[in-house]
Structure 1
Amino acid sequence: MQRLLFIMITLAALVSPAMGEKFDPARWEKSIAGLEAKDAKTTPSKNGVVFIGSSSIRKWDLPKYFPGQAVINHGFGGSHLEDSVYYADRLVTPLQPRAVVLYAGDNDVGHGYQPERIKDAFLKFVDKVHAKLPETEILFIAVKPSISRWKLVDQVRATNRLISAECEKSDLLTFIDVDAPMLGEDGKPRAELFQKDGLHMTDAGYQIWTKLVQPEIAK
């Protein structure tokens, strides 16, 4: 019986990111190099706003929603918050932004990461950015409630509570709560805000996010 239990735990560690998957940011190297090449061609303005994180950032048409503003999209789809930490020295600090908008943690929850682990990754991101840019504001968009991951909403909200509490400790950290605005009268995610996969957002979803983010980056 003990041997069977040992085998089960070992197998779980091999397949579960929450328990045993080795953190491997190298899987994003091609995407990161592509973003760097784009920067080299366009030379983003210093003192702008860098958006970084997973596919909800990558799919955000920033020029459309933030016209005439110095916004840079450094999202890379499918990534975890730990990936944004790892690549902050290549995607954030070289641009010397006045503010950073971060959305990550969605895939972390989906892959079984515990809220504490995600919160710790957020703090590492903050430390890494502020080590070189101590006055840069960091805005964290709450992990969104979605149709496809609704069964994980308790973990999503636990993660958001932890990160929100950390943001309250510093004037340079802002927590942008998108939970309530994305819910209908039934208390569940509004269908019109999501694409067919129930995870990625439609223009209607991005309109909500833009309305919440714009006042913060305009300060």
Structure 2
Amino acid sequence: MSLRTLVRPAVFGGALLALLAACAGHPPAKTSVPAPASAGAAPRVPEQVSNAAWDTDMRRFAAEDAQSPPPRGGVVFTGSSSIRLWETLAQDFPGVPVINRGFGGSELRDSTWYADRTIVPYAPRQILIYAGDNDIHSGRSPQQVRADFIAFVERVRRDLPQAKIAYISTKPSPSRAHLLPAQREANALVQAEARRLGVDYIDIFTPMLDARGQPDESLFVEDRLHMNAAGYAIWKRVIAPYLQ
């Protein structure tokens, strides 16, 4: 038998083994970070956003930016209605170039999907997010809130790797007192992930409880969900030390 005859099966066998090894390998890990909102297709509800109507808020932000462009390198506050309704935000943190990009009723994954329209354009030095409250109320589990938090951090760091991120814990609202156990669990899970990811975790849950460990009614307006001036005064005091 010739040397050529011996080599050919060996070469073929080696190629076949390499092919089989490649096929047996693990597929690439799927990222939890969604494609940017400007990628073309409308976001899927509820996998990527909780409500497609947020596009109205995005157009409002764009109109505000066109009229008065926010400074780059500032501090973006984003998330749900507790941010949107913080009318004294700029006055509460004088000297800090704050940008309010809260959109009421939103959930964590909404801030992730729309990050390219509410965070990235401003190249902020810091982002503070309040979200998770509506998520629990809509039926998402504490574990889903944790996963959505991780996805948010990954999304922001994709374009803004140097920006500081702070997560404001969910607040204890009287109208949602029945959700306190789930909120506590979600807060604990997010706090652990924040520590692992190098994200600041700001606890506003504890200082908003009364002496009985229940939501302090005196901190809320008539709907028992949104805060009055006394509630925001607590947020101001607790958040101020974290601002860069």
- Under a length normalisation based on structure 1, what TM-score does the superposition of the two structures give? 0.87
SS in 1 for 2:200: strand
Q: Tell whether the 8 Å contact from 2:123 to 2:160 is kept in structure 1 after alignment.
A: yes
Match in the other structure for 1:8: none
Q: In structure 2, how many angstroms separate the alpha carbons of the residues matched to 1:31 and 1:110?
A: 21
Q: In structure 2, how many angstroms separate the alpha carbons of the residues matched to 1:27 and 1:143?
A: 23
1:113 pairs with one of 136, 140, 152: 140
The alpha-carbon deviation at position 63 of structure 1 amounts to 1.6
Paired residues, what number? 198
Q: In structure 2, how many angstroms separate the alpha carbons of the residues matched to 1:214 and 1:36?
A: 28
Q: In structure 1, how many angstroms separate the alpha carbons of the residues matched to 2:65 and 2:224?
A: 32
Match in the other structure for 2:185: 158
What CA RMSD, in Å, does the superposition of the two structures yield over aligned residues? 1.4
1:55 pairs with one of 55, 61, 81: 81
Q: In structure 1, how many angstroms separate the alpha carbons of the residues matched to 2:95 and 2:66?
A: 20
60-69 or 182-191, larger mean C-alpha shift:
60-69
The alpha-carbon deviation at position 170 of structure 1 amounts to 3.3
Write the mapping of 1:62-211 to structure 2, written as runs, cut at 5 A. 62-171=89-198, 173-211=199-237
SS in 2 for 1:100: strand
Question: Which blocks of at least 5 consecutive residues in structure 1 are unaligned?
Answer: 1-19
Q: In structure 1, how many angstroms separate the alpha carbons of the residues matched to 2:99 and 2:129?
A: 12
SS in 2 for 1:52: strand
Q: In structure 2, how many angstroms separate the alpha carbons of the residues matched to 1:53 and 1:121?
A: 13
62-71 or 99-108, larger mean C-alpha shift:
62-71
Q: Tell whether the 8 Å contact from 2:50 to 2:106 is kept in structure 1 after alignment.
A: no
SS in 2 for 1:74: strand
The alpha-carbon deviation at position 26 of structure 1 amounts to 2.2
SS in 2 for 1:187: coil
Q: In structure 2, how many angstroms separate the alpha carbons of the residues matched to 1:216 and 1:151?
A: 30
Q: In structure 2, how many angstroms separate the alpha carbons of the residues matched to 1:179 and 1:24?
A: 24
Q: Tell whether the 8 Å contact from 1:36 to 1:91 is kept in structure 2 after alignment.
A: no
Q: In structure 2, how many angstroms separate the alpha carbons of the residues matched to 1:215 and 1:48?
A: 16
The alpha-carbon deviation at position 46 of structure 1 amounts to 1.0
- Under a length normalisation based on structure 2, what TM-score does the superposition of the two structures give? 0.78
The alpha-carbon deviation at position 135 of structure 1 amounts to 1.0
